[in-house]
Structure 1
Amino acid sequence: MTDAILLAIMALSLAAMYLLLKKGFRPAAPPAARAPGPAYVPAQPGAPVKHWSDGGRMLTEVLAESRYQATVRELAGEHGDQGADTRLQAVLAVDPLNPYDDKPVAVFVAGRMTGYLSPKDAQAFREIQRREEIDGQPISCDAAIRGGSVWQGKHLAYAVWLDMDLSR
């Protein structure tokens, strides 16, 4: 009896493999295109509940998105051909309404949207918030806007760095 059941299972497995190989594997459907229209911008965060500092080491980089580069360039101010190193205050806020990411952390510098934390940094940020019992609350920290120097006749891109160590 057991042998008959095992033979039936083997026969069904072989039939399924034959059908898969005969028909081939179909590639996954391409992702749906984003609907045209205005780009999503998160809501301005409220007043920060805490100011984090890591002694001015500026270890966390904000993800550079091309659509925020003009804003970051304006915030960097005039610096000639030398690279900018403009110091401002940043506010980080969890963005639960973002339609493109499920757990993003938006970064506002001087009240203007400049980008997001990387997914790994956003997770670390949320874990620290949970530990300190301030889940989902806006946090401030010092920020540095660097870049924009001239190299081979062209201005380099700008980057926003935050005075917080999320690698711990």
Structure 2
Amino acid sequence: MAEALNLAIIVVALLALFFLLKGRPKAPPLPVRPDAGSYTPVPEGAPVLHWADGGAQFDVEVLGESRYRDTIRRLAGEHGDGKADARHTALLLPDDANPYEDKAVAVFVSGEMVGYLAPKEALALRLRLARQEIAGQLTSCDAAIRGGNLWEGKRLAYAVLLDLDLKG
């Protein structure tokens, strides 16, 4: 008799658990974001300011370069087996319409997108723009495309580095 009672309790508990889990509200679907390649901002007009600290530190790295690796490889130019060190001017575009990051800053080299500033650096640049009373406007700085040397028969990745002092 005790075994039947224990078995009945187990069956009732399992049924209750089943209906509890089955009947719980469904989570709302995740918002659908555009495909990775469908959104690219477009810089318009001339830069209102060229950031120049004269030190050529190139210590701000652009993120997301893997999406633009073919463009960056072309911009690096011919450099044989050694590493590239191609100099360019970069355009910095505060990207308020970015669907992924609300304070994004897009980076363009020779009119082509090469990535974004890291969120912390984008915020620092936006604060500097606001202090200069040019918030949201297109600016420029010097850029270097480095890397891409051959190692064990394979070409290493490139990095886009900006000469941009965001501490001041």
TM-score w.r.t. the length of structure 1 is 0.78
Given that 1:121 and 1:167 are in contact with CA atoms closer than 8 Å, whether structure 2 keeps it comes out as no
Alignment of 1:42 onto 2:33: no
Runs of 5+ unmatched residues, structure 2: 1-19
- 56-65 or 75-84, larger mean C-alpha shift: 56-65
- 54-63 or 82-91, larger mean C-alpha shift: 54-63
Q: Which amino acid aligns with 1:44?
A: P
Equivalences for 1:69-80 in 2 at 5 Å?
69-80=69-80
CA deviation string 1:111-167 (max 9, x = no partner):
111000000000000000111111111111110000100112110111100011224
Equivalences for 1:30-69 in 2 at 5 Å?
31-36=30-35, 38-54=37-53, 55-69=55-69
Given that 2:92 and 2:138 are in contact with CA atoms closer than 8 Å, whether structure 1 keeps it comes out as yes
CA deviation string 1:74-121 (max 9, x = no partner):
100111111000000001010111112111000001111100000000
Given that 1:72 and 1:114 are in contact with CA atoms closer than 8 Å, whether structure 2 keeps it comes out as yes
Q: Which amino acid aligns with 2:63?
A: L
Runs of 5+ unmatched residues, structure 1: 1-22
Separation of aligned partners in 2, 1:30 and 1:83 = 46
3-state DSSP of counterpart to 2:72? helix
Counterparts in 2 of 1:97 and 1:80: CA distance versus 1, 3 Å: same
- Cα RMSD of the aligned pairs, angstroms, is 2.3
The offset of 1:44, in angstroms, is 2.4
Separation of aligned partners in 1, 2:36 and 2:59 = 35
Separation of aligned partners in 1, 2:113 and 2:160 = 11
Separation of aligned partners in 1, 2:72 and 2:65 = 10
Q: Which amino acid aligns with 2:90?
A: A
Q: Which amino acid aligns with 1:45?
A: E
Alignment of 1:161 onto 2:161: yes
TM-score w.r.t. the length of structure 2 is 0.78
Q: Which amino acid aligns with 1:127?
A: L
Q: Which amino acid aligns with 1:48?
A: P
CA deviation string 1:40-75 (max 9, x = no partner):
111123200011112211111100332211111110
User: Corresponding residue for 1:141?
Assistant: 141
The offset of 1:39, in angstroms, is 2.1
Counterparts in 2 of 1:153 and 1:108: CA distance versus 1, 3 Å: same
